[in-house]
Amino acid sequence: MKQGRLILENGWVVHGESIGAEGRVAGRLVAHTDMTGYQELLADPACRGQICCMTYPLVGNVGVSVGSGEATSIQASGVLFREAQSTYSNYLGEQPLTEWIRTSETVALSGVDTREVMAQLRRNGGMNAVITTYETDTSDEMAAWAREAQPGELPGTAAATPPRILEPCGEHRFDVHVLDLGMPDGFCDALRERGCRTTVWSDRIDLTKILADQPDGIVLSPGPSGSPQSAKHLAEAIKEGAGQVPVLGLGSGFLALAMAFGWEPKPMRHGHHGANHPVREIETGRTYITKQNHWIGLPKDDALPDTGQVVSMRNVNDGSVEGIRFSPVTAGYQFVPDSHAQSFGTGHLWDSFLADMKRST
């Protein structure tokens, strides 16, 4: 079996068995600690520009179900496994994980010492890295390439594309326009289930066209973490829109919204990747477990750029900003709230957005 290497920007090298496409890729090396949900994770556009190191030692034993509602191809730039299963046991499974990796033409390695990769990240903080299957690539050249890489830019289409309209599930209550920065499949379900007719626009649309439709609210979707500078083209238009209709920013949309209101997102020493990040709601004192996937954020010691803004949520582990109420009807969160409103979940944040729209109509 063909071998491959992971080379970190600091020159550290680890070998593994190539189980995907041949080639070389650069990206932000991140460790994902989830024990399950690997298909949902790897198909999420937020993984663009990432080399995902799966820390759970055995991945793939339930296979892949293409009809599960997730994207049909892997979005991550590269993937690392301690052991990737080539067989599976699941009545809903349609293909093995290793086959999905090959059909997605993803560069991936198995047999990697993922514990040592995690230790490197813990000791040195977030880093870029390169996976290569070419024997002629020298480690010094690949480390230099990793240091120069700019992974995870917001997707950006060459031109604006026609909007997609998704009808509400049940009674029509509001018209919401979503700016797609690279959202996962099913992202709009939480809105549709709450009676929102959802119009999805590409990220290159002129925001004045959206405002001309007089929507009840605007949502800035999540997407690749990447460089927050790639959202600069949205910042001023977003701030103008936030003064006219309720706006909700999530993930990358939250960072774009924060930039529009004077914040400066920065790379984090240890990004948030996984399904178990505790976030405290400051007003109520309640703590919620959230799923996150970003390495750019708002540090805990950043001062509020405007006295009219209120930090509504903080990460329990590192104190970083997880939620901001920018104005009475404009809010943002570093994570995507749960779809359903439950006493132990974050679904109530969607309901707060609907309440903002109701007050504004």
Q: What is the pLDDT of residues 62-87, one digit of tens each?
A: 999 876 545 578 999 999 999 999 99
> 231, 230, 220: which is closest to 183 by C-alpha?
220
Residue 43 has pLDDT above 80, yes or no: yes
Residue 158 has pLDDT above 60, yes or no: no
> 29, 119, 153, 13: which is closest to 80 by C-alpha?
29
- 297-316: pLDDT as tens digits: 998 876 677 668 999 999 99
Counting beta carbons within 10 angstroms of the beta carbon of residue 241, is it exposed (0 to 12), middle (13 to 18) or buried (19 or more)?
buried
Tokens of 99: 């086959």
> For residue 325, what pLDDT is reported?
94
Of the listed ranges 28-37, 177-186, 202-211, 248-257, the least confidently predicted one is 202-211
Query: Contact at 8 Å (CB) between 177 and 219?
Result: yes
Residue 229 has pLDDT above 80, yes or no: no
In this prediction, residue 340 has a pLDDT band, given cuts at 50, 70 and 90, of confident
> For residue 12, what pLDDT is reported?
98
Query: Contact at 8 Å (CB) between 253 and 222?
Result: yes
Q: Which domains does the chain have, with CATH numbers?
A: 3-148 (3.50.30.20), 164-360 (3.40.50.880)
Residues in contact with 237: Cβ distance below 8 Å, sequence separation at least 6, in sequence order: 206, 207, 208
Tokens of 36: 């399950």
Q: Give bridge partners of residue 130 from the DSSP assignment.
A: 7, 26
Residue 156 has pLDDT above 50, yes or no: no
Q: What is the C-alpha to C-alpha distance for residues 279 and 293, in angstroms, rounded to an integer?
A: 14
Q: What is the C-alpha to C-alpha distance for residues 351 and 142, in angstroms, rounded to an integer?
A: 47
